A and B are shown apart, each in its own frame.
Chain A
Amino acid sequence: MRPLMVPGKRDSLVRIGDYVVEAGRLGGLCRRDVYRLHLAVDEIATNIVIHGYGRTGTEGMIEVSTTLDDRMLTVVVEDTARPFNPCLVPEPYDLDFPLESRKIGGLGIYLALQSVDTFAYEYVNRRNRNIFGMYRSGREPDP
């Protein structure tokens, strides 16, 4: 698939979602894995739109690209907002708390990282690169 380049705005999230769902289908992922990949990319892209660009008042693009090999479908989401490494966000500590004492927000990054088989972050040439991987068999290959 050709990379998708869209403005880092809320209106672009549906196009990013459609692109990722299509990539998942072409990669032969099962329906549940397509959903999980879509969820992970949507959470990170929403975060880029709201916090990366929105809150700092900067404008920029989001680029989404995919690569496919025998074992894995990889989706890369890049932006030019300030550096932000999702892996450094602490996991929520209140997941088993009753609703009245739960923190509002902060679940998106956790959900994203839980939903894909592999996740990596790089900051290269002033770009955040979020790299999502799904095994095509639907489970991790044998070592």
Chain B
Amino acid sequence: MTETMEISTRTLDQVTVVEINGNLDGTTAIMAEEIIGDHCQEGTRLVLDLRQVSYMSSMGLRLLLLISRKLADLHGCMALVGLSDDLKETMSITGFLDHFATYDALEEGVSALQQEKE
């Protein structure tokens, strides 16, 4: 089996939605970092849609941390959508969960970031 991960991006009401489909691990996270990093501009409001991510290792956590820092430097903000119980547990063990804005539904994440703007 070869590892595949797909990233698609769209804009919803001035919020950038990046959907990741596949695993975030040592094979894929660096590529994801490059692609998502390119979407981070001054003031970008970014929703990372993780509903189709069934596995995430510390390489994925590293990605979340790097993107969140980059956006903070650019006066942007980020929300995570659709974390599975497995991903939540990994983020909880490592102390990440409380520090990210997380939502179950995409609409919730998008609407929260829209309000962030005002």
Same assembly: yes
Which residues of A does B touch, CB under 8 Å?
Answer: 10-11, 13-15, 17-18, 32, 35, 38-39, 42-43, 46, 49-50, 92, 94-100, 102, 104-105, 107-108, 110-111, 114-115
| Residues 23-55 (chain B) with a chain A CB within 8 angstroms | 25-27, 55
CA distance A43 to B94 in the complex (A): 14
Number of A-B contacts defined by CB within 8 Å: 70
The answer to whether B26 touches A49 (Cβ under 8 A) is yes
Given the contacts A13-B27, A114-B93, A42 and B57 also touching, CB distance less than 8 Å = yes
| B interface residues, Cβ below 8 angstroms from A | 1-3, 25-27, 55, 57-59, 61-62, 65-66, 68-69, 72, 85-86, 90, 93-96, 99-100
- The A interface, classified by DSSP as helix, strand, loop or mixed, is helix
Most buried by A among B2, B61, B85, B100: B61
Q: How far is the CB of B17 from chain A (nearest CB, A)?
A: 21
CB distance from A98 to the nearest CB of B (A): 6
Nearest-neighbour CB distance to chain B for A124, whole angstroms, equals 26
Which A residues touch B66, using CB under 8 A? 104
* Residues in B neighbouring A92, C-beta threshold 8 A: 94
Query: Which one of B26, B62, B69 contacts A13 once the chains associate, using CB atoms below 8 Å?
Result: B26
